[in-house]
Structures are given as structure tokens and as C-alpha cells.
Amino acid sequence: MQRFRIPRSSLVGAKLLHSGVGAPIGAKLLHSGVGAPVGAKPLMHGGAGDDFSTISIFNIDEALIENKKSTKWKGLLSKYSQAASKDDNDMCLSILHDMAAFVVCNSEGGGTNQEFVQYIECFRIWLKLVVNGKSFTVITRVRKAVEDYERVIRERQKMGLKNGFQQQEEDDLVLDILKAILLSYHLAKEFGKSSLFTVPIEEYFAQIAMTYKVDLNGLRSKLTEKTLIKALDTITRFDQAETHIKTESDELQKNSSSSSSSLPSPSPQSPLPKPIESYLEDSGALQFHRACDYILENKFQWKGGEIKIPIYKFYENLEKQEKGEFMTQYLQFNTIKQANLEKYLHRIIKSNLNSNEQERRMAFFKKEKNYIESWVDLTTSYIEENFNFSERPASQDEKLLFHFQPFFKVFPMKSIICHIIYTLMGRVGDKRIPLSELLDRWRFVYVRQIATSSSSNIKNLVLQYTSEKSFDELSHLILDAVMKSCKIRLTNSELSFLEQETPKNVMMPFLSLGNSGHGHEHEHEREHEHYAFRSEVEQHYTKRARLIRIHPALIRDLESTSYYGEGSNFPLLCPPKQWIGPKSGGYLSYPVNFVTGFDKLQRFYLQKAHIQGKLDRAFLCLDQMGKTAWSINGNMLKVFNSIMQLPNGFLNVPRPLTKGKCTQEVSDLNNQRKFYEAINRLANAYGINGDAFYNCYMFDFRGRAYPLSMLNHYGEDLIRSLFQFYESRPLGKSGFYWLKYQAASLFEPGSEASCEQFFEKHKEDIINSAKRPLDNNNNNNNNNKWWMKADQPFQLLAVCFEIANVLKHIEESGGNGDAKIEQYLCRLPIHQDGTCNGLQHYAGLARDKSGAKSVNLIPSETKQDVYSEIRDLVEKKILEDINKFETQEEIDNARFKLEILSRKIVKRPVMTSVYGVSGFGAKLQIKNEIRDIVDNFAQNPSRCQYDESVIFKLKSFTMKDASYLVNKIFASIDELFVNAKKIEKWLVHTSDRILNSYNIKTLDYLASKNSKLLNTYFNKPVNYSPISWISPVGFPVVQVYRKPSNATTRGKMGYFVIDNTDRHTPADRRKHKLAIAPNFIHSLDASHMAMTCDAAVKNGLTFASIHDSYWTHACDMEKLSSILREKFVELHSFDYMKCVKEDLENQVKSSYQLVYFEKEKYRELYEKVKEIRRQYGEKTIAQQMSSELRSLSSMSYEDHQVSKLIKQYEPILYYVQGSKTFEYNSNFPMQIDRKLKKKVPVFVPVRIMDLPSKGDLDINLVLKSRFFFS
């Protein structure tokens, strides 16, 4: 199957084919071919058209109007779930019939497609229930279900609706239909039914097989049940069929397989040395460190022999002809390993990561283990004793547990209880845990358990339609049992100590239960029982939240142990599964979403975009990125392991966990330490054997890619330094240059004019750093500390190791000669980063020459450093202040700011200014940078550019001081990037006009809901549709910022509040306005990355990225440099802003703006408008405006009486934006400096402002700019 396909609009042929009763069907079916799949139109980068419009994704009638349809559909799903759980096939069939009718009825006008997809899933579940039930099902029932399905397809096809099926999904569905028919035939034969029963089944089988052009050879190979194979042979007279004939579908399948990049099928002859089940706890949970042990201890063997060197090195040493065979078998082995791991990923619990024998003998570990085992048993017993849910449940709680019976068979109650307890203990750093967060987490785990269950667990699959409320009620019930069953014992002396260091309000909920221990001679040794967990309700203004508290004694003990929260995603041991839908791809069986976030409106829009084929290119990008194979850098892993053993920590790695008073600082450091311990454990799991691993990626709503695993190259400096490519490539002619370049780029720009000069100056530093990176007695000059002075010290150290290896390679190869260097096999990634990439995109859009020069879009002899340029402008402004300040205190303060001013201090505010950082946010960035300077001086004075006297002053640096610098930095940015700022302002003002627009559909919706918002609609407009645009690569960016909506429901522990993203709520105007510009730029850098990724992969390069930082092998960096420049030019070579403007205009095509004219200035106009509105028969101005909006929407705007008057008098119209007033026209808004006193409201069509004029930058100059990315 081709990678890009227009989503199939129908699975059904134009007509149904019939055959004679006694004819040998097999031969006929073998000759039935299928047409080749149609190639989809690629998503282009130029020209406005369907690919550059989001209007087809949004239908306000569909997206806004909540009505009985939604309730009815959810009711059908709920009934179906209950019927399936009771094996009531007849009831399921009846509900399926109603579902089909619902989908057909509600497909008019475009339909939501969500109901269609869910109907198809329920249909497949029913077919599996039929096949697995083995009870005789009359063929007429199967026929009825299939005919309903075909009717749905036909009706949707008539309406031009696309279903978005992939070929595999169609094949699976048809296979299920044929299995149900074959089972009916087998049972009819077994029960001795006459030909009156069997012949119609044979005919119907032939009809379905020919309609869907089924290849019988392929069908027979997919059947595993002997009874179904026998039925197939009997129906088709298979022994008479011409099985040697190859059909067109055979050829297509062959071609598809040969061109596919999918994984080799797991071989059943590749058993793992240690099955994953042997690593599980008795409760069925999987400890984090045991999951790591499973990866490490199941090592691949080649031809029966152990591989004693890193696997990536072993693979590198193989002959070329052996490498293909090796990787095929290696990935087959790893695919089995990965599939087993994914079955338990959601059950992973993290505790005691540092589990060497000495620590495992610690008293608390034994105490904790005993506690948990006891708590799990006690909670399980409590539930079994208090609830009868196996037969005839009576109470609501028992009915709830009964409903989840199928679920408990794959996720036992003990495992759920264990997971809940570990989740609570993993959140010890929070002190008080919001119940809503716990419910979200557990609901997520339940859903993943259902999705990873075997497809044979049909009843469990039905649970996917269980409401979120039911999952939350289950969690409530079990958590309530946990809290009543989990207790700890404390002596009087322990309790006394706790009471001294713990506030009374914290201790109050944990009063002793009164159960004393016995046999103690001394009173201070007497023990009392206390609840381990308690709940409380916190009132915050009008909101109430239920919180879970952990006993202070547990907090004290757990703070000094290596708990690290909940389960997490691991890197994959094989390439990710190809993405074919918003929820289908990535992990092999572990379900992940294509786009981050939990807003259901967002997902709804993406599903529609998928059906329209607008996500295919995005799927391809994730597939391409996921194919990059990584390995762990052995040298850096050794350094990491050594650092973790240091008693006082090292750079950003805190010291080992300590028990002490639970201050926030101690808690933060402990949490940071736990994180590094988890990363270290993972790195060793994948690194010791030298395994290949892969990352699964997902997008945010702007199209930016993010890896799911906690071990990824997006991490901070130390984590990034661990990553190297699995495959090595010779350095070639320029590779060594790029290694030197990488080293130089990791330092703040210095006096060296080139990386060659940097290398020659620091060659000895590099060699010594690689020899003894952590040796404090390296030499008298303390050169070992040189690498720690870098901006990214650990990444620099990784380069030092690699350069030292290159020099060693030259020496061992006989020295002299570039040929020796070119042969060196290198897997260290080299990266190039954009120069403040957001400003680069703004300069490209605005064709801004001055801004382009500052961010290296224009060729120059030396690299331009925008951060240094801003620093210089800030210095100039501070000097101006010094000259005009009058008091000595002001002068001294300004001089001190000048003394500490550096490129590093201005860098973060400049870098994030384009991404919408607020003034307060920028102040925090500077404050944090000052704090880091002070902290780093304490750890490593040689790395600091300031002396001790300056550091002393910096300790008292205030937010007021930061505010002064931020104002100067922002003013300097505005001065340097004038034209770029115009585009930013255009985006903000445009979003404000869209969000403050009026339309009849929103008015009708508010009226239908009898909303209070209707009373203030014309003073405070509301908007329900998100702002959206299509990125240059066709990705639909849907900016969904909505007012929060909560739902209150009751559980075992009382009322609780959950997020309700099903409910439509007004857009959050403030968030939209703050986010529109940064999100827009993010969508551009995401598009540039996707375009570069595609071109790099097609050119045979290994590619990875971190947003605007692109990685590849050293030998390929020059090729990647050319590609990324070409793609930037391609992205900015057409008038993309014109496309965006047209897209936004489409979104407000039927909307109006409420603007004002001055009553006194246009008195005659006012009197005429007043007379027209008097005829509406409405009293208040709000009612009059409501009537006017309705009448405007029922005719052409030009034909309305008020509109004609506006055209006749041409008054100056004003637009009010908060406390500001602007003239309203299509030009850039001009603010007026007075307040309108007497103003008259009128509606005009929304005008999207004209785009800012462009400069004269030749964008093709980027192709020649050496320092564009560097």
C-alpha cells in the first residue's frame, strides 16, 4: 500500500455479485482483482486552496450546539457495553441496528465521523463476540448486521463523506465478517442442518468474498481455527481451486511488502532467555528497576554465541553482507522484547531505584515492603468482605464492580490496589495531592490496560466505551478502601518527635486510632496505629477541591528513598509502528495520541482533519523521525555512573538523598536526584549491552515534535551527552572539522576567529579532559576543570572523548595523513542551531533586511550574534541613564547593572521574546540566571566570570533590578526588529477582532442554552470557535484555549470535581491573544523541521532534531546544512501570510464586528438609526442589537437599512479593545488618546487588517549565509 492515499470513501463495491448454488466458488474468487490505491495529492507549500483552509474542519453547528443527539449516542454506547459484558448477542445486534440508523440519520451536513468510527468498532466487537461465542448464530443475523454496515457506507458515500480507512483496517473487518459466516456454516453442519440452511450461507459467503475481492489463499493463511479452515475448504471446494494462480491482489501485496519499511515479523523461534513475567511483583506490578533489568538481561545472541562487546560495535565490525541478516534477526528479537514490555508499561511503579544489596538491606526498605504487601492484602480483603459483586449485585457500588468484572480478569484487583498505593507514595514530594490529578492518572492507566489487552478479550474491549465517570467512580471506591485499610504503627517517641517538627494542622487528620501495642516495658516504646493516608476538602473562594494527605512519618521516610512518581514510557527497542491515524501508531500496542493534550474538542477537530487527509504529511514526519536508531555513549555513561557515586553531587546532579527536615528546597533537590537516578538506571539498561533504541514522537497542537520517553535527546546537557547514533559513518573529508566546530560552539563566543584556532588553543585541554574528566589532581593547571567552563559542559566532554579517539586512531594507524582521519568511524551527533530562530522566521516573513542581518540570514564574513548586539544596545541605554540620573544611588545601581551585564543574562529574554514571554516571565529568567551564577560560583569558582565582591552583591539582586534590565532588553529588541514586530502586532490585533466578533449561530446557541452569557453578550462578546490556521506543510494548527469547565459528581469519598472538556465553553480571549504570535512562529519552525527531515531522509542522512536544532553524522553535516537552507528559502518563497489572512477571513465570513460612531458628531445619522431600531419593538439596546444581528444574518449586509446609512454617511468608526480605543478599518489600527463619551453601536462585517508592508530582503541570500544555522 502506498504511504499516501486519499482516505477511502467506501469499502463496498458498486454492485453485489452472485454465483450459482453448486458452482465451485474458489476458482472464481481467485481471479477477482482490486484496483491499485490512488496516490494522494501531496501537501504543497504554495498557493491558497483547500490545503490552506481550516474552514472545512470547523462546523459551528456541529461543534457548538449540544443537543439530545449526543446524549442519545452515549446512551447507545452504554447499553451496548452492558449487553456485550453479559454476552447478550441479540441485544447487541439490536443496538447495532439503532446505531447504524443513528449514523445514517446524522451524517447529513458532514457528520462528526466520531459516531461512525465508534459504530464500526462496535460492529467488529459484535463479530468477535459471535466467533468467540461458538453458539449457533442464524446467518440472517450476520446478514442483518452486515447489511446495516453496508447501508451506512453507501449513505455516507452518497453524501461525499470520507471514512479514512487504511487497507489493513478494511482487511481486518472483512476477515471478521467472513469468520462469522464460516462459523455459522460450521455450526449448521455440526447440528445437522439441511441444505435449506447451508446453501444460503454458501451463497452469502461468495457474495461477501467477491464484493470485497478477497484472495482465498490469503484468507486461508489467516485462519487459525481448524473448524473455520474446514468450513472454508468445504464451501470453496478448495482442493479444486487453482491455487497456483497469482491474482492482482497478490502482486499488489507483494509490491506493498517490498516497499514497506515496516518491521520484520516477530519470529516464534526467537524465545527470550527470561520472560517478562518472571520480573513481575506478586501483585502483577512491574517495578521500574525490574523493567530495566528485563531489558538488560535479555541480551541478543548472534548465531548462538554471546556478544561480548557493545552490540553497536559488533554490528559495525560485521562484513557488509552480514549486516542485513544481523539487523533482521536483531530487530525480530527486540520486537518480541518490546511487545512484552509494552504489556506492562502502564503498570510500572518506581521505587528504590538504587537497589544494590547493601541498600536493599536498609531497615526502611524492609519496613516499606512489609507495609505495602500488608496494605494490598488488607485492602483486597476489605473489598471482598464488604461488596458482593460476583452474583446479583445490589448496591450501586456492587453494580459498578460487577460491570468491571471483565476488566479485573486482565488487570486484577490486587494489581490496581498496588498501583494506587505506589502512585500515592510516589507523590510524596507534593505533601497534598489533588484527587483530580490522581483520577486523571488512574483513568489513563485503565484505558491503556484495555487497549493493550489481547483482542480476544472482547468484553474488555467493550469497556473502552465506559464513561470517564464510571472509571472515576471505580478509582474512588478503591481509593476509599485503600485509605481505610492502610495503617502505620508509631511509638510514642517517634510521634513526639514528629509533633515537634510538623505543624498541628498537618498532624490533626492523622490522630491515633487508639490501638496500642503490647509487651513494651517503657511508655516511649508503646506503638499506636495511624492512618497512612487521609483526605480533606480545601475551599478556595467558590471552588472546592479534595486533597489526599500522606502521613508525615511516611513523608519523612520516603523523602530519603528513591521513589519517582508513576510509570513512564521507555524508549523502544525497535522502530515505532507506522502512524496511520490520530491514535494509531508509535508504540507497538501501547496506545498513544498523535497530538498532546486531553481537550476533546481539539481531538474532534484533528479527527476531521484526518478524514480529510490533512494529516498524512504529519504522520510521515513522525515515522521518519522514529526510524533514527540511537545508542548510549559508553564513555559518557561511565562518567554518569561515577558522578552518581560522588557524595556531594556534581554540577546539576544533586547529592544522594538525605533524610532531614522536609523543606521545599530539600524536597526539590531530592526530586531532582530521583529523576537522575531514574535516567541513570534507564541509560544503563540500554547502554551496557550497547543496544539500539528508538524514540516514539508525538506533536503538540502547533506541529512541534516531542519524544515520549523520559530518556531522550531533548533532555538537559548531561542527558543529551549520553546520546549517539547506533550506526557509525566515516568522518570523510570534513567530519573532523565539524567535531572541532561542535567543541567551539559549546563555549560562549570567545576571541578565537575560527574553530581551528579554538582547537589548536585548547588541544591539550581536550585530551586531558578525555583522559581524566573527574580527576581533581590532573595537573597543576587544573586542566581537568576546563570542560566544566563550557555552556554545555557534558556535551563538550562527549566531543572531547571523540576528538581524543580520532587522535588516537591517527596515532595507531601510523600517523600523518588526512586519509587516516577520513576512515575513522564516528557516531557522535553534530548539530546546527538557528540563530534565535523565531526572529529568523519573522525576518523572513517581513523581508526585514536589518533584522535578517542580526540573525545571520544575510551572508557576512563573521558570525552575527544577536544576543551580543542586544547586550550592546542595552549597555548604550544604561549609559544614557547614568548621564541623566541625578542621585548617586541611582547612578551606582545603574553602574552595577552595567558591571554584571553579559550576553548570557540577555540571552533567555531575547530568545523567548518572540515566543511571547511576558515582562514578569523575563524578570524571572534574569533572576534565575543571577541565582545560577551565585550557585555555580559556590560549586566551581573557576567557571565564573565575576569576582567574589560582585557575587556578594548579586546575592541581594531583586525583582526590581531585574525589571530595569527587562525594560532595556525589550526596548532594544523593538528597536532592532521593527518590521518583525509589526507582524507580531498584526497577529495579536487580528486575533482580538476574531474573538470579539458576533454571529447568529453563537447568539442562537446562547439562547437555546438559556445562558447567563446572553445578558452580557453585547458588552462582553463570547466566541466558541478556536482560532486556527494551516501551517506551510499542511498541518492544521487549532489553538483551543477555552474557559475551564468542570463537572461535579459523587463517588465513594463524596463529591468531587473533574474537568469536562466535552462541554463547549467560551474561548479564553486573554490566552488567545498572548499565545497567537508565539504559537504561529512555533508552527513555522515546526514546518521547517518537517521539510528538512523529509529531505534529509530522502537524501540518505540520519536525522534528529530538537525543534530548531538539527542533528546528523559529522560527515553529512555539510549536506544537511545545504538542505536546511534550501527548505527555509522554500518555506518563505511564497506569500504565506496572504494564505493565513485568507484562512482567517474564512473563519469570520459570516461574522460582524460591533463598532461605534460618535453621537454628537453624527447626530442626523444617530436619529435615523434610532428610528429604525424603534421599529424592532425592543426596549433595551441589547435586545435591539440582538434583533439587528438576526436581520443582518437573514439578508445581504448591503441591503440592511442601517448598513445603507453607514455607507451613506461614512462615519469614522471606532473599535473598543479593553481600555483602549482604535479607529476601525482595514489599515493597521490607530489608537486614539481620548475616551468616547457618547457612542452609538453598529454592526459591520469583520475586517481582517491589511498585512504589514514587506521589506526588500532577497530570501535567496540565505542559501549563501554560512552562519544561518551554526
Instruction: Tell me how far CA of residue 423 lies from CA of 473, 601, 997, 1064, 1090, in angstroms.
Output: 17, 29, 46, 32, 37
- Vertex 1198: Cα angle to 1194 and 1200 (nearest 5): 55
Q: Which residues of 199-233 are buried (b: 16+ CB within 10 A; e: fewer)?
A: ebbbbbbbbbbbbbbbbbbebbeebeeebbbbbbe
- Vertex 77: Cα angle to 449 and 450 (nearest 5): 5
| Residue 487 phi, psi (nearest 5) | -135, 155
Angle, helix 139-158 to helix 114-133, in steps of 10 degrees: 160
Minimal CA–CA distance to 869: which of 894, 839, 833, 895?
839
Place of cell 452515549: 74
Q: Is 745 helix (H, G, I), strand (E, B) or coil?
A: helix
From 430, 1108, 1116, 1143, active-site residue: 1108
- Running DSSP on this structure, what letter comes out for residue 915? T
Q: Which residues of 253-291 are buried (b: 16+ CB within 10 A; e: fewer)?
A: beeeeeeeeebeebeeeeebeeebeebbbebbbbbbbbb
Longest dimension (CA), the chain: 110
Place of cell 487504511: 166
230 has catalytic annotation: no
Cell of 133: 461465542
Cell of 1156: 461605534
Minimal CA–CA distance to 1156: which of 1166, 1147, 1146, 1164?
1166
- Residues 98, 81, 79, 100: what is their CA dihedral angle, to the nearest 10 degrees? -10
From 608, 907, 923, 1127, active-site residue: 907
907 has catalytic annotation: yes
Q: Please answer whether residues 548 and 433 qualify as being in contact, where contact means their C-beta atoms are separated by less than 8 angstroms.
A: yes
Cell of 1165: 445619522
Q: 815: exposed, middle or buried (C-beta count within 10 Å: 0-12, 13-18, 19+)?
A: exposed
- Vertex 1043: Cα angle to 1037 and 1044 (nearest 5): 105
Amino acid in position 420: I
Query: Which ranges in 285-404 belong to alpha helices (H)?
Result: 288-297, 311-317, 320-342, 357-360, 363-386, 396-403
Output the 3-class SS for 110-123: HCCCHHHHHHHHHH
Q: 1174: exposed, middle or buried (C-beta count within 10 Å: 0-12, 13-18, 19+)?
A: exposed
1108 has catalytic annotation: yes
Phi-psi region of 1100 (alpha: psi -120 to 50; beta: other; left: phi over 0): left
From 833, 872, 1059, 1135, active-site residue: 833
Place of cell 487508639: 514
Place of cell 534565575: 928
Q: Please answer whether residues 1004 and 1022 qualify as being in contact, where contact means their C-beta atoms are separated by less than 8 angstroms.
A: no
- Residues 846, 849, 853, 859: what is their CA dihedral angle, to the nearest 10 degrees? 110
What's the rounded Cα separation, in Å, for the pair 1147 and 171? 39
What's the rounded Cα separation, in Å, for the pair 444 and 347? 11
What's the rounded Cα separation, in Å, for the pair 289 and 160? 53
Pair type for strands 1152-1158 and 1239-1245? antiparallel
Q: 732: exposed, middle or buried (C-beta count within 10 Å: 0-12, 13-18, 19+)?
A: buried
Minimal CA–CA distance to 1141: which of 50, 53, 45, 46?
53
What's the rounded Cα separation, in Å, for the pair 1102 and 1084? 22
Enumerate the active-site residues. 833, 907, 1108
